[in-house]
Amino acid sequence: MSARETPLSNLQARDLDSVLHPYSPLHKLREMGPTIMGQGKGVFIYDTQGNEYIEGMAGLWCTGLGFGNEEMIEAADRQMRSLPYYHQFGGKGTEPAIELAEKLKEISPVPMSHVFYTSSGSEANDTQIKLAWYYNNALGRPKKKKIISRIKAYHGVTLMAASLTGLPANHMDFDLPFDGILHTDCPHHYRFGESGESEAEFVARLAKSLEEMIEREGGETIAAMIAEPVMGAGGVIVPPSGYFAAIQPILKEHDILLIDDEVINGFGRTGQWWGAQSHGMKPDTISAAKQLTSAYAPLGAVMIPGFMMEALESQSAKIGTFGHGYTYGGHPLGCALGVKAIEIYQRMDIPAKVRAITPLFEKRLAALADHPLVGEVRNSGLMAGVELVADKATKRSFDPKMGVGAQCAVFVQEHGAVLRAIGDTIAICPPMIIEPDELEALIDRLVLALDDTESWVGKADLRAA
Ligand SMILES: Cc1ncc(COP(=O)(O)O)c(C=O)c1O
């Protein structure tokens, strides 16, 4: 890790205890102290002590263009000077919002009619559920309201998005999930495949289980299923081939909408514009955010097809208005940056760039699989999960209380990189502009951290089950 000569900031130690940090062990934070980031350039990020790190997670799976992109900075400056704020309420609008909606429709994997803007991925998914309910009310189907999600899904943290999420920490003591949310199986063959079961048999079993759930609940009570093509924050879970092809006809048969959560997958991450295209998904509606603006400003979007728009219009005519919208949804800064980001992605042909670097990524990942701590490595394009286990042969996990993954992420940081532990899976999701030598350096640092983790586990003699 190289250090700059002078610290970047003169914050006092006491100032560091004023932010309530999301997704952090609050009980340990005082002792660990936060890492305060000060500057970024390309794939590198610098903390306020001047330490340099390779940003291996694109922030939170979002800064696809890395840091300090001059074109993006200029686009932001231009928009702030011409119109720093306006909204979409009451039929008003802004040019960047229209331009971005047109761009999104142009690159959408399926024909879309309209775009509704939010400030985040969670708001986009909340909106999806409200739209599905409103749509079914418009069609005179007031009972068709339940939503299917999946175990280990991640759809955000607002009340509905957290209910859709299939991770215990998002529910426990938040009194969630809401009623009417059904969690079906997680398509992770390594963890949930039965002994001797092939991937094809696993897919058939999951499809059957979904069908049984729908028949048990009654298809006439289920509005939609929401799914990420590749599950990100649940541990980078890549579905077996044929998974979506197997479940989609079942949903169709029961007239259940398929909501595609592209918040992490979208804009080239998997080697195609959309995760849906990489994994055979044919969605009815789409949620996007994060790389939509390369995270240079907050923005989310919901894309809906014509048949849904018609129903929303007719229901609005009955009620007198469409009563949903966020003050910052479609903020002109976010929309101008979305337009610029997509323009850059198109010029660079970002999906092709991701496809070009994926073989190197996969070669380095395959070598990690030989490490004594690594149970499985999995990836889709430039997004991977490295799952650490106590016993490779039996796939036995470490006791979660040991915090092996979290400790590995600490070692990664000590070696000058940022990666994220999801339980004992180390997630890798670098900016999509990463060059081969930078990617090699990132994986080299992870290898050092894995070795440190192995001796930490051994020293503490914590491996005994
Ligand atoms: C697939 C997915 N959906 C939704 C969200 C929530 O987005 P936000 O944090 O912008 O609310 C996330 C965040 O990581 C995500 O990964």
Final residue in a domain of this structure, among 323, 348, 373: 348
Q: Ligand 1 mean position to 156 CA, how many Å? A: 5
pLDDT computed for residue 1 by the predictor? 40
Residues 317, 431 within the same domain: no
SS3 letters for 72-125?
A: HHHHHHHHHHHCCCCCCHHHCCCHHHHHHHHHHHHHCCCCCCEEEEECCHHHHH
Give distance in angstroms: CA of 122 to centre of ligand 1. Answer: 6
Q: How far apart are the first and last CA of the chain?
A: 35
Tell which atom from ligand 1 comes closest to the C-alpha of 125. 4
Span of 8-22, 235-249, 416-430, 434-448 with lowest mean pLDDT: 8-22
Query: What size, in residues, is the chain?
Result: 465
| pLDDT in the model for residue 460 | 66
% pLDDT > 90, the chain: 91
Task: Pick the atom of ligand 1 nearest to 232's CA.
Answer: 16
My answer on whether 366 and 343 are in the same domain is no
Residue 105 · residue 112 · CB < 8 Å: yes
User: Which atom of ligand 1 is closest in space to residue 298's alpha carbon?
Assistant: 10
Could you tell me if residue 5 is inside a domain?
A: no
- What average pLDDT does the structure give for the chain? 95
Residue finishing a domain among 327, 348, 369: 348
Residue 376 CB: number of other CB atoms within 10 A? Answer: 18
Does residue 135 fall inside a structural domain? yes
Least confident of 24-38, 48-62, 233-247, 306-320: 24-38
Binding site membership of 275 for ligand 1 (Cβ less than 6 Å): no
Of the pLDDT bands very low, low, confident and very high (cuts 50, 70, 90), residue 4 is very low
Per-residue model confidence (pLDDT) at position 28: 82
**CATH at residue 115:** 3.40.640.10
Alpha-carbon distance of 430 to 268, in angstroms, equals 12
Tell me: pLDDT of 7 over 80. no
- For ligand 1, whether the C-beta of 232 sits within 6 Å is yes
pLDDT confidence tier of residue 5, bands split at 50, 70 and 90: very low
274 and 361, same domain (yes or no)? no
The answer on 435 and 308 residing in a single domain is no
Whether residues 26 and 105 fall in one domain:
no
Tell me the three-class secondary structure of the chain, residue by residue. CCECCCCCCCCCHHHHHCCCCCCCCHHHHHHHCCCCEEEEEECEEEECCCEEEEECCHHHHCCCCCECCHHHHHHHHHHHHHCCCCCCHHHCCCHHHHHHHHHHHHHCCCCCCEEEEECCHHHHHHHHHHHHHHHHHHCCCCCCCEEEEECCCCCCCCHHHHHHCCCHHHCCCCCCCCCCEEEECCCCHHHHCCCCCCHHHHHHHHHHHHHHHHHHHCHHHEEEEEECCCECCCCCECCCCCHHHHHHHHHHHCCCEEEEECCCCCCCCCCCCCHHHHCCCCCCEEEECHHHCCCCCCCEEEEECHHHHHHHHHHHHHHCCCCCCCCCCCCHHHHHHHHHHHHHHHHHCHHHHHHHHHHHHHHHHHHHCCCCCEEEEEECCCCEEEEECCECCCCECCCHHHCHHHHHHHHHHHCCEECEEECCEEEECCCCCCCHHHHHHHHHHHHHHHHHHHHHHHHCCCCCC
pLDDT of 83 reads: 98
Same domain, 162 and 192: yes
Query: What is the spatial distance between Cα 453 and Cα 435, in angstroms, rounded to a whole number?
Result: 27
Q: The domain spanning residue 416 has which CATH number?
A: 3.90.1150.10
Could you tell me if residue 6 is inside a domain? Answer: no
Cα of 369 vs centre of ligand 1, distance in Å, is: 28
CB of 289 within 6 A of ligand 1: the answer is: yes
User: Are residue 132 and residue 183 in the same domain, yes or no?
Assistant: yes
Report, as an integer, the average pLDDT of 76-93.
97
What average pLDDT score do residues 26-45 get? 89
pLDDT class of 3 with cuts at 50, 70, 90? very low
Answer yes or no: do 209 and 338 share one domain: yes
Other Cβ atoms within 10 Å of 365 Cβ, number: 20
Position 8 scores a pLDDT of 47
53: β partners: 45
Asked if pLDDT for residue 254 goes beyond 50, the answer is: yes
Residue 417 lies in a domain: yes
CA distance 294 to 215: 41
pLDDT, one tens digit per residue, over 433-452 is: 999 999 999 999 999 999 99
Residues 72/341, Cβ–Cβ less than 8 Å: yes
Residue 261 CA: nearest ligand 1 atom is 1
> What would the pLDDT profile of 355-387 be if each residue is shown by its tens digit?
999 999 999 999 999 999 999 999 999 999 999
Position in ligand 1 atom list of the atom nearest CA 300: 10
Residue 7 is assigned to a structural domain of this protein: no
How much is the pLDDT for 133? Answer: 98
Q: Does any domain span residue 128?
A: yes
Whether residues 193 and 247 share a domain: the answer is yes
Using the atom order of ligand 1, give the atom closest to the CA of residue 289.
Answer: 10
Give the span between the Cα atoms of 458 and 463, in whole angstroms.
7
Q: How many angstroms is it from 155 CA to the middle of ligand 1? A: 5
Atom of ligand 1 nearest to the CA of 233: 16
The CB of 228 under 6 Å from ligand 1? The reply is yes
- The per-residue pLDDT for 465 is 47
Domain check: are 377 and 427 in the same one? Answer: yes
Contact 263 CB / ligand 1 (< 6 Å) = yes
- CA 27 vs. chain centroid, Å, equals 26
Is 3 inside any structural domain? no
Report residue 13's pLDDT band, with 50, 70 and 90 as the boundaries.
Answer: low
Cα torsion angle, 141, 145, 148, 149, sign = positive
Answer yes or no: is 464 within a domain. no
The CA distance from 299 to 304, in Å, is 17
Dump pLDDT digits (tens) for 267-288. Answer: 999 999 999 999 999 999 999 9
Average pLDDT over residues 43-70: 97
Residue 122 Cβ < 6 Å to ligand 1 = yes
**Does ligand 1 lie within 6 Å of residue 120's CB atom?**
yes
Q: Which atom of ligand 1 is nearest to the CA of 228?
A: 1
Number of structural domains found in the chain: 2
Question: What are 237's strand-pairing partners?
Answer: 231
C-alpha of residue 60 to centroid of ligand 1, in Å: 9
Pairing mode of beta strands 222-227, 146-150: parallel
Q: Which of 126, 165, 262, 264 to mutate to test the pocket of ligand 1 (most atoms within 8 A of CB)?
A: 264
Q: How many angstroms is it from 275 CA to the middle of ligand 1?
A: 15
Q: How far apart are the CA of 126 and the centre of ligand 1, in A?
A: 11
Range of the domain at 380: 13-68+352-459
Average pLDDT over residues 87-112: 98
Q: Is there a contact between 404 and 425 (Cβ–Cβ < 8 Å)?
A: no
For residue 222, the cross-strand partners are: 146
Mutate to test the pocket of ligand 1, among 61, 62, 118, 122 (most ligand atoms within 8 A of CB): 122
Neighbouring CB atoms inside 10 A of 181's CB total: 19
Asked whether residue 312 falls in the same domain as residue 398, the answer is no
Of 298, 329, 348, at which residue does a domain stop?
Answer: 348
- Given this model, what pLDDT does residue 380 score? 98
Same domain? For 99 and 224 the reply is yes
